[in-house]
Chain A
Amino acid sequence: MASIEQQLQQQVLQAYHDKTALEICAGGSKFKPSNGQAQRLDVLPHSGIIEYEPSELVMVVRAGTPLAEVQSALAAQNQMLGFDPPFASDGATIGGAIATGFAGAGRPYYGGARDFILGAKIINGRGEVLQFGGKVMKNVAGFDVFRPMAGALGTLGVLLEVSIRLLPVPPQQKWISVICEDQAQAIEWMNKAHFKCTTLSAAQWQDAAIMMRLSGTPQAIEYDLKYLPAYAELGVSSDAALLAVAERRADFFAGSDCIFRCVLPPAADPIVLDDVQQLMDWGGAQRFIKASASEQRRIEEQVTALGGRAMPLLPNRLHSPLAGTAQELFSIQKKLKAALDPYSIFNAHLMPQVS
């Protein structure tokens, strides 16, 4: 009997041959299958951890493996994924986590999916099974084709296997809250903390308070606390609250108002708008603004002037990592796509668009 990998490859070969569209599906936790004409390519059965040697700090895993399974295997060895991928409890897979590149609150301090991926086995749009990168930390043989797979939403190829660099779980974590009405002040404090505190691993501002997470040895955390403005130690973990922002389940995201996601240099000045609610994540580098859709122009203008980029969230409260490509890059992006998927068979509905 053909292996699942061979079955997937067969399906892609057929689509390549017939020039028909495929929609890559896995856990369905982030983007629900579209109602388009495309045939579904289901990666979910391609599941299981292939190699995990804790002392190498590397895991090789099939793309359809549930994130929850990966996380619990890691937790058993006191290790973790560095990029905090969301939606594990909704059935997200590791492949989907890489393909979307969505990262949680630790993003500025630990890195994103693209920083932790060490290699990938893919099926390209010609139905070829290819392996790029590897399972070692340092590897400069050939182009890092695996890295742009992070955030490509499957449009560059089907992820079959990924190898991922891991982190040890920090010996201790503390969550603290700093009262801060003034947004400019909050930006300054979060950035100072990033500079001063090696254990800072999350910093969020909403409802006139900064929430910070410190992760490290008790001694290092103790040391860092000295540098923080007046704070209250939260007795319990705030990780659920941090995750709720990454998964857009926090109260802030409720309701029918338009929400804009802005990514900026972390110390950029506040975006000034009257009577809107704002939430800052990633130490100021990711900001959400709840405003009426008519504010889009004003927000975009300000954010662009601050050196960043603003985008309205999709109805599912997520954003497409491919949306809003700069015009000057569009032609290379299209050529890169064609180099991997000449007939655009993969996930045509998620393709990059020009801003």
Chain B
Amino acid sequence: MHATSLSALKQKLSAALPPDCFIDDAVRMAPYECDGLSAYKQMPQLVVLPENVEQVQAVMRACQETRTPVVPRGAGTCLSGGATPHPDGIVLSVAKLNQILHIDEKNRTATVLPGVRNLAISQAVAPLGLYYAPDPSSQIACTIGGNVAENAGGVHCLKYGLTVHNVLQVKMVLLSGEVVTLGSESLDSPGYDLLALVMGSEGMLGMIVEVTVRLLPTPPVARVLMASFDDLGKAGEAVSAVIAAGIIPAGFEMMDKPAIRAVEDFVHAGYPTEAEAILLCELDGVEQDIEPQLETVTTLLKKSGAVEVGLAEDEAQRALFWSGRKNAFPAVGRISPDYYCMDGTIPRKALAHVLQTIAALSKKHGLAVANVFHAGDGNLHPLILYDANKPGELERTEEFGGEILDLCIAVGGTITGEHGVGLEKVDRMCVQFSDEELAQFRLIREAFDPDGLLNPDKAIPTLNRCAEFGAMHVHHGKMSHPDLERF
């Protein structure tokens, strides 16, 4: 960025925001140089922390006038580099926008500022017997604004839906400084469903400054079953068997042997370390309803070849079973100098095939992999173990990861189930989408941000970028961009 335009920007901003809303020294900016995907690091020009919506508007206007890139930032837990700063731009943080504005008990909604943490909403409404359903594993840290921007899911989204299903209204500041209200507190709003379009838009359409979420009554009882299998394929079939029987568990998670062992060493959750796979299946509702369903599920799991099925005896054991799953990432972090968390979704029926292929790829690349898996909705998280200090290992890991994503596409799935495209998967977008589809994304983005200043270079690749990548890749059996010169 030119020093002159930076100082022009700073001048405009200091007229609108108090001095403690800026960070511009390298030491204090360091925590902002990456998000949860720390392989990508970049210092921004400036970090801005507005205290209210008017200040956000002023910042956006100033950035548009000075043509400064803006990277919105929640808690920075994004795993795809979506919140990685732009070298010429500012980071626009929601850290000071963290109040719960209003809880409407009768209508079962809460209106909050974007920096409120996911779990803080459920905690605030717990005394009313309510909670906010989407529960990403990062929920103690991640913000509701970041959840909207990523359409975050969680362990319970099989039954209760993703962010898109649980948010009624969003207020967003456009780059022009204008505030728009998308959705409403009613069940439909006139015109196009822009609210749905903003879900998962990765900070490219506007800065989210207020979110109204739908709250659900806390189920009186939740019980979790753990089933162990001597074969991954059987575990996959068991998942389909339960769902085909018309039962939608509140959570349905799977882990393979390497993940089980890493977790067991770390949290001693009581997982069977000899099993090839375990399934955790949670049912919630009222006691009278759950008891017979637990029996049905147990029978189905056993029929599908479960070696053992155990029910968490009490709330403490239930928490323990889940703590294993929720600590899977850090557990893997303990056994390997580095790990790379992948995120793709596949049709459930392809599970056995995909896991076998991943095992073969793991051999080919000489890199171990541990699989944790939101089995109920087909969202897989292979964790590739590597050592960044060994030359070439990160590159091999990325290649391995890329092949997993190609595999997800090949079986009819997608390159990201919940972590977003960000910087990380921007090349893979050229595999999943055609030139026309990518061009359509760009046109839609321009409808909101004609200058392309909001989170540039993320999520939607340019045609040239795809051409570069396409030199190595073939899309749907066709060479992509035959019209462009190869290099």
Lowest 5 A-B CB distances belong to which pairs? A168-B246, A325-B191, A335-B447, A147-B196, A267-B106
Which residues of B203-256 are within 8 A (CB) of A? 217, 219, 240-241, 243-244, 246-248
User: Which of A55, A115, A143 is within 8 Å of B240, CB to CB?
Assistant: A55
For residue B459, which residues in chain A have a CB less than 8 angstroms away from its CB? Answer: 142
Considering the chains assembled together, what is the distance between the CA atoms of A26 and B194 in angstroms?
Answer: 25
A227 CB to nearest B CB, Å: 11
Q: Which residues of B contact A (CB under 8 A)?
A: 104, 106-109, 129, 150-151, 153, 157-158, 161-162, 164-165, 174, 178-182, 184-194, 196-197, 199-201, 217, 219, 240-241, 243-244, 246-248, 285-286, 288-289, 291-293, 345-349, 374, 377-379, 412-421, 425, 429, 432-434, 436-438, 440-441, 443-448, 459-460
A282 at interface by CB-CB < 8 Å: yes
For residue A282, which residues in chain B have a CB less than 8 angstroms away from its CB? Answer: 187
Considering the chains assembled together, what is the distance between the CA atoms of A337 and B440 in angstroms?
Answer: 12
In the bound complex, do residue B186 and residue A264 qualify as a contact, i.e. CB atoms below 8 Å apart?
yes
Per-residue CB contact flags for chain A residues 319-330 toward chain B (1 = under 8 Å, else 0) read 001111110111
In the bound complex, do residue A112 and residue B187 qualify as a contact, i.e. CB atoms below 8 Å apart?
yes
User: Which of A139, A308, A332 is within 8 Å of B345, CB to CB?
Assistant: A139
A144 at interface by CB-CB < 8 Å: yes
User: Which of A56, A128, A267, A324 is within 8 Å of B190, CB to CB?
Assistant: A324
User: Which of A263, A308, A332 is within 8 Å of B447, CB to CB?
Assistant: A332
A241 at interface by CB-CB < 8 Å: no
Considering the chains assembled together, what is the distance between the CA atoms of A6 and B345 in angstroms?
Answer: 30
In the bound complex, do residue A138 and residue B286 qualify as a contact, i.e. CB atoms below 8 Å apart?
no
In the bound complex, do residue A130 and residue B246 qualify as a contact, i.e. CB atoms below 8 Å apart?
no
Per-residue CB contact flags for chain A residues 257-279 toward chain B (1 = under 8 Å, else 0) read 00000011111100000000000
In the bound complex, do residue B244 and residue A139 qualify as a contact, i.e. CB atoms below 8 Å apart?
no
A336 at interface by CB-CB < 8 Å: yes
In the bound complex, do residue B417 and residue A139 qualify as a contact, i.e. CB atoms below 8 Å apart?
yes
In the bound complex, do residue B417 and residue A142 qualify as a contact, i.e. CB atoms below 8 Å apart?
no
Considering the chains assembled together, what is the distance between the CA atoms of A5 and B418 in angstroms?
Answer: 32
In the bound complex, do residue B413 and residue A115 qualify as a contact, i.e. CB atoms below 8 Å apart?
no
A70 at interface by CB-CB < 8 Å: no
A95 CB to nearest B CB, Å: 17
In the bound complex, do residue A140 and residue B448 qualify as a contact, i.e. CB atoms below 8 Å apart?
no
Considering the chains assembled together, what is the distance between the CA atoms of A53 and B240 in angstroms?
Answer: 10
In the bound complex, do residue A168 and residue B248 qualify as a contact, i.e. CB atoms below 8 Å apart?
yes
Supposing A151-B192, A219-B288, A352-B191 touch, asked if A115 and B165 sit within 8 A by C-beta, the answer is yes
Q: A55-B348, A285-B186, A352-B190 are in contact. List 11 more A-B contacts (CB 8 A).
A: A137-B158, A137-B379, A142-B421, A142-B459, A144-B200, A145-B440, A220-B289, A263-B186, A308-B186, A332-B180, A333-B191
Considering the chains assembled together, what is the distance between the CA atoms of A140 and B152 in angstroms?
Answer: 9
In the bound complex, do residue B285 and residue A198 qualify as a contact, i.e. CB atoms below 8 Å apart?
yes
For residue A171, which residues in chain B have a CB less than 8 angstroms away from its CB? Answer: 246
Which residues of A308-355 are within 8 A (CB) of B? 308-309, 311, 321-326, 328-330, 332-333, 335-340, 352, 355
In the bound complex, do residue B193 and residue A138 qualify as a contact, i.e. CB atoms below 8 Å apart?
no
Considering the chains assembled together, what is the distance between the CA atoms of A326 and B291 in angstroms?
Answer: 49
In the bound complex, do residue B441 and residue A142 qualify as a contact, i.e. CB atoms below 8 Å apart?
yes
Considering the chains assembled together, what is the distance between the CA atoms of A338 and B289 in angstroms?
Answer: 51
User: Which of B186, B418, B421, B440 is within 8 Å of A128, CB to CB?
Assistant: B440
Considering the chains assembled together, what is the distance between the CA atoms of A336 and B440 in angstroms?
Answer: 10
User: Which of B153, B161, B348, B460 is within 8 Å of A115, CB to CB?
Assistant: B161
User: Which of A138, A168, A332 is within 8 Å of B157, CB to CB?
Assistant: A138
Per-residue CB contact flags for chain A residues 168-192 toward chain B (1 = under 8 Å, else 0) read 1101000000000000000000010
Considering the chains assembled together, what is the distance between the CA atoms of A264 and B377 in angstroms?
Answer: 32
Question: Of all chain A residues, which has the CB nearest B176?
Answer: A331
- Interface size class, chain A: 35 or more
Supposing A138-B153, A138-B378 touch, asked if A217 and B347 sit within 8 A by C-beta, the answer is no
A150 at interface by CB-CB < 8 Å: yes
In the bound complex, do residue A137 and residue B246 qualify as a contact, i.e. CB atoms below 8 Å apart?
no
For residue A301, which residues in chain B have a CB less than 8 angstroms away from its CB? Answer: none
For residue A29, which residues in chain B have a CB less than 8 angstroms away from its CB? Answer: none
For residue B192, which residues in chain A have a CB less than 8 angstroms away from its CB? Answer: 148, 151-152, 156, 322, 333, 336-337, 352
A124 at interface by CB-CB < 8 Å: yes
Considering the chains assembled together, what is the distance between the CA atoms of A329 and B194 in angstroms?
Answer: 9
For residue A48, which residues in chain B have a CB less than 8 angstroms away from its CB? Answer: none
In the bound complex, do residue B194 and residue A134 qualify as a contact, i.e. CB atoms below 8 Å apart?
no
Supposing A54-B244, A309-B184 touch, asked if A198 and B286 sit within 8 A by C-beta, the answer is yes
For residue A151, which residues in chain B have a CB less than 8 angstroms away from its CB? Answer: 188, 192-193
A194 at interface by CB-CB < 8 Å: yes
Supposing A137-B377, A198-B219 touch, asked if A148 and B194 sit within 8 A by C-beta, the answer is yes
Question: Of all chain B residues, which has the CB nearest A198?
Answer: B285
For residue B179, which residues in chain A have a CB less than 8 angstroms away from its CB? Answer: 328
In the bound complex, do residue A56 and residue B180 qualify as a contact, i.e. CB atoms below 8 Å apart?
no
**What are 24 A-B pairs with beta-carbon distances under 8 A?**
A55-B243, A107-B187, A130-B437, A137-B345, A138-B345, A138-B374, A138-B377, A138-B379, A139-B414, A140-B200, A141-B433, A145-B444, A195-B217, A198-B217, A217-B289, A263-B187, A264-B185, A308-B186, A321-B190, A322-B190, A332-B174, A336-B192, A339-B440, A340-B443
In the bound complex, do residue B441 and residue A216 qualify as a contact, i.e. CB atoms below 8 Å apart?
no
In the bound complex, do residue A141 and residue B443 qualify as a contact, i.e. CB atoms below 8 Å apart?
no
In the bound complex, do residue B197 and residue A147 qualify as a contact, i.e. CB atoms below 8 Å apart?
yes
Considering the chains assembled together, what is the distance between the CA atoms of A263 and B153 in angstroms?
Answer: 28
Pick the most buried of B187, B377, B414, B460: most chain A CB atoms within 10 A of its CB. Answer: B187
In the bound complex, do residue A267 and residue B107 qualify as a contact, i.e. CB atoms below 8 Å apart?
yes
Supposing A55-B240, A139-B345, A150-B193 touch, asked if A134 and B161 sit within 8 A by C-beta, the answer is no
Question: Of all chain B residues, which has the CB nearest A115?
Answer: B165
In the bound complex, do residue B413 and residue A328 qualify as a contact, i.e. CB atoms below 8 Å apart?
no
Question: Of all chain A residues, which has the CB nearest B242?
Answer: A55
Supposing A56-B348, A136-B417 touch, asked if A147 and B104 sit within 8 A by C-beta, the answer is no
Supposing A139-B414, A339-B444 touch, asked if A131 and B293 sit within 8 A by C-beta, the answer is no
A64 at interface by CB-CB < 8 Å: no
For residue B184, which residues in chain A have a CB less than 8 angstroms away from its CB? Answer: 263, 307, 309
Supposing A143-B444, A223-B286 touch, asked if A333 and B194 sit within 8 A by C-beta, the answer is yes
